[in-house]
């Protein structure tokens, strides 16, 4: 795993000093080597985390034989050996064993058509000095990030926003629409970023930049569900694809292990991994005993069943010291507080291995979230008389005192979330992405009128209007929540510790297969992940198959009432960004303290935004 940077300027000579600063800011992503290249109109930089072909010959930037084409690449191409054989058959001779050289030679032969041949996670930049053309691309589901800022005949790009803004030509004007989206969703959906002048290249997209400007286009879209599929045949195919995608992710010239939370997804991946590994698989988890958020008993059960060499880290989160580091590594507002345990898990795992497999993607692909079940219930609930809903049921639920326990163990919290989501989707059927603040609360907090017509998450939901309501939600999640929350979190927190994380569920063959399955194969009655649970039998302990999903969270809500109360108050009320309404913040804090609402997520979003503003804007 690596970090990439670059500047193309057709008017002024790209500054090597600026590029050096941008590239140096990505050292944490690639501590093993760094390099720069310079053409008349283009300069590109790279930081390398060595995974395959550890020799210097595989360092980047890498050049074509004639020296006119250069590549910088972040990620892994899992089918690079097969692609290499194909190219060798066509007469290509290779200098290295790396997947980077395969990418370079594939581009020379196929240009952007090569994207359809790639199985992997990547963000890539290729400069052709003869054609004066920059090619950028991001993998199908958005495992690897790519930011860019383009105006006129100049573009700069980087793997992280904090690196990109080392370029003084990138303005730091805050995008108020993107800021509103952050408070809605906990993340900013692509192509938006917190800065007006900066864009994220969306998952499954490519871009061409030349003297005529930039052209962004989609090269991949998830396929829609099919009819007439046989359940038993699909079970067999699912296991075959997942086994192969897991095997492909075991190729590395460095130590390799797996995250093991004790959920279905990570346990199944680790079991498949153990089947193919030459030695006992090393697995890693963290625990926070004494809270409703602790999953350690399940990870231990999974490890015992698989026979892995398991390491469990009992952690006492030092939020005060950790917080500023986490904000710095995201580079823009990011409100998913599960970044905290992810940071700790990645840090501890990196002490033993350089690559770790994960179960990311299983919930979005196979209907694992309880909100998918809730969406079905909402269809029934919405048929109740409006008076019954608004005059009796909803006021009763709203008045119920809130708990800070994990929502999976709190009926009160589930009911509150259900009522809120139902009201939101009645008002706007395209508001499918989970929201922390309502649109009205965002407008009050920011003083800015959020525009749903400019919201990329709403546009994604609109794309899937032809699907049933639950499938529409799942497809929207794949292109918003998965790409810009889950995968962003894992990328930043793993790269902060130079750890590569690989996700077999997100092999594009697995994603496309899962998308083609009808909803009835995924959700039946109150059972989520139906086909995946069936496939996992014999691989995963029965107790784990029957357990409810549990999120990867820490008990911040309770800490805000005791151990972190003074720390949070100081950062809420002494950090005046000039962008947030103090009266709104005071009410959010007061309601949390007196138990009227569990405002943990809302408070965390404000804390993160204030710290980000202090560091970057």
Q: Which residues are catalytic?
A: 2
- Distance between CA 252 and CA 269 in Å, rounded? 17
Parallel, antiparallel, or unpaired for β 309-314 and 282-287? parallel
Tokens found for residue 114: 């090569």
Q: Are 29 and 49 in contact (CB under 8 A)?
A: yes
Helix (H) or strand (E) holding 102: helix 99-110
| Residue with token string 């980047």 | 60
Q: Are 403 and 598 in contact (CB under 8 A)?
A: yes
Q: Of 340, 343, 307, 272, nearest to 532 (Cα)?
A: 272
Q: Are 432 and 472 in contact (CB under 8 A)?
A: yes
190-193, long-range: CB within 8 Å, 24+ apart, which pairs? 190/142, 190/456, 190/483, 190/484, 191/216, 191/456, 192/456, 193/147, 193/161, 193/332
Parallel, antiparallel, or unpaired for β 205-210 and 282-287? unpaired
601-606, long-range: CB within 8 Å, 24+ apart, which pairs? 601/186, 601/335, 601/337, 601/436, 602/436, 602/437, 603/556, 603/560, 603/568, 603/572, 604/335, 604/337, 604/556, 605/182, 605/183, 605/186, 605/333, 605/335, 605/436, 605/437, 606/445, 606/572, 606/580
SS (H, E, C) 124-136: EEEEECCCCEEEE
The upper half-sphere exposure of residue 244, i.e. CA atoms within 13 Å in the direction of its Cβ, equals 11
Is the sign of the CA dihedral 467, 468, 469, 471 positive or negative? Answer: negative
What is residue 197's DSSP assignment? T
- Distance between CA 588 and CA 226 in Å, rounded? 46
Omega cis (within 30) before 244: no
Omega cis (within 30) before 61: yes
- Distance between CA 175 and CA 197 in Å, rounded? 8
Tokens found for residue 592: 């949390």
Length of the chain: 617
Per-position b or e across 433-456, b if 16+ CB within 10 A of its CB: bbbbbbbebbbebbeeebeeeebb
Radius of gyration of the chain (CA): 24
- Distance between CA 79 and CA 74 in Å, rounded? 15
């Amino acid at each position: 795993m690596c970090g990439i940077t670059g500047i193309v300027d057709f008017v002024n000579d790209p500054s090597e000093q600026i590029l050096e600063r941008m590239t140096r800011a990505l050292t944490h992503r690639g501590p093993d080597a760094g390099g720069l290249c310079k053409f008349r109109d283009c300069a590109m930089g790279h930081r390398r985390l060595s995974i395959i072909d550890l020799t210097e010959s595989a360092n980047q930037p890498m050049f074509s034989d004639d020296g006119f084409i250069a590549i910088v690449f972040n990620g892994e191409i899992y089918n690079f050996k097969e692609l290499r054989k194909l190219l060798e058959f066509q007469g290509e001779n290779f200098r290295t064993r790396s997947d980077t050289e395969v990418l370079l030679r594939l581009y020379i032969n196929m240009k952007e058509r090569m994207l359809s041949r790639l199985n992997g996670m990547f963000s890539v930049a290729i400069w052709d000095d003869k054609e004066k053309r920059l090619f950028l691309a991001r993998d199908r589901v958005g495992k690897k990030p790519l930011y860019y800022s383009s105006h006129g005949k100049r573009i700069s790009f980087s793997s992280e926003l904090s690196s990109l803004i080392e370029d003084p030509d990138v303005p730091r004007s805050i995008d108020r629409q993107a800021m509103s989206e952050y408070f809605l969703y906990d993340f900013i959906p692509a192509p938006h970023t917190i800065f007006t002048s900066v864009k994220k290249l969306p998952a499954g997209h490519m871009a061409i930049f030349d003297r005529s400007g930039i052209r962004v286009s989609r090269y991949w879209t998830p396929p829609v569900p099919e009819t007439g599929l046989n359940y038993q045949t699909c079970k067999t195919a699912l296991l075959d694809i997942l086994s192969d995608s897991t095997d492909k992710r075991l190729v590395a010239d460095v130590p390799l292990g797996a995250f093991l939370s004790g959920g279905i997804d990570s346990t199944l991946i680790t079991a498949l991994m153990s089947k193919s590994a030459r030695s006992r698989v090393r697995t890693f988890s963290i625990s926070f005993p004494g809270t409703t958020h602790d999953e350690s008993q399940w990870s231990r059960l999974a490890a015992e069943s698989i026979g892995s060499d398991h390491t469990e880290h009992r952690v006492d989160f030092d939020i005060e010291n950790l917080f500023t580091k986490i904000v710095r590594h995201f580079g823009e507002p990011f409100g998913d507080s599960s970044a905290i345990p992810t940071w700790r898990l990645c840090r501890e795992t990196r002490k033993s291995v350089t690559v770790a497999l994960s179960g990311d993607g299983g919930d979005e692909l196979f209907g694992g979230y309880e909100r998918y079940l809730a969406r079905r219930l909402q269809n029934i609930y919405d048929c109740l008389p409006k008076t019954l809903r608004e005059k009796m049921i909803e006021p009763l639920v709203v008045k119920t005192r809130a708990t800070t326990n994990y929502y999976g163990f709190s009926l009160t919290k589930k009911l509150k979330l259900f009522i809120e989501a139902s009201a939101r989707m009645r008002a706007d059927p395209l508001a499918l992405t989970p929201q922390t603040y309502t649109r009205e609360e965002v407008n009050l907090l920011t003083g800015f009128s959020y525009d749903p017509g400019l919201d990329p998450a709403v546009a994604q939901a609109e794309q899937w209007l032809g699907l049933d309501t639950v499938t529409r939600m799942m497809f929207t999640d794949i292109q918003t929540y998965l790409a810009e929350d889950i995968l962003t979190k894992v990328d930043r927190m793993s790269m902060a510790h130079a750890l590569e994380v690989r996700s077999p569920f997100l092999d594009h063959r697995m994603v496309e297969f899962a998308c083609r399955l009808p909803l009835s194969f995924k959700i039946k009655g109150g059972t989520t992940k139906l086909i995946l649970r069936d496939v996992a039998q014999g691989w995963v302990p029965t107790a784990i198959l029957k357990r409810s999903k549990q999120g990867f969270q820490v008990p911040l809500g309770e800490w805000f009432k005791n151990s972190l109360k003074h720390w949070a108050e100081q950062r809420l009320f002494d950090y005046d960004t000039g962008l947030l309404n103090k009266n709104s913040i005071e009410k959010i804090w007061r309601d949390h303290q007196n138990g009227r609402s569990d405002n943990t997520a809302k408070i965390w979003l404000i804390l993160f935004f204030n710290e980000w503003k202090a560091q970057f804007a």
